[in-house]
Amino acid sequence: MMRQYDNALFLVVPQSEVSRGLATMRLNFFLSFLFLFPFSLALFFFLFIFFFYFYSFYPSIFPLPFKNLFFL
């Protein structure tokens, strides 16, 4: 069924309900990525910093190739 704004926004709004739903899904994924990206970045740096924090106390539980990385 045609909506009132479909004629004015013919090139912007998808014309079928399936395309409109897919566009909504793309928008939701994009907005959720924008919202969750800072938290994932903060979690990465949190784990990265605490890796070296615990490595300084217990260096033997980590594999040997990481041994020289702490002193760079």
Look at residue 29 in the predicted model and tell me its pLDDT. 84
- Dist CA 11 CA 31 (whole Å): 22
Please write the tens of the pLDDT for every residue from 4-51: 555 555 555 556 777 777 778 888 888 888 888 889 889 988 888 887
Look at residue 64 in the predicted model and tell me its pLDDT. 55
Please list, in sequence order, all residues whose beta carbon lies within 8 angstroms of the beta carbon of residue 6, skipping any fewer than 6 positions away.
13, 15
Question: Are 59 and 70 spatial neighbours (Cβ–Cβ below 8 Å)?
Answer: yes
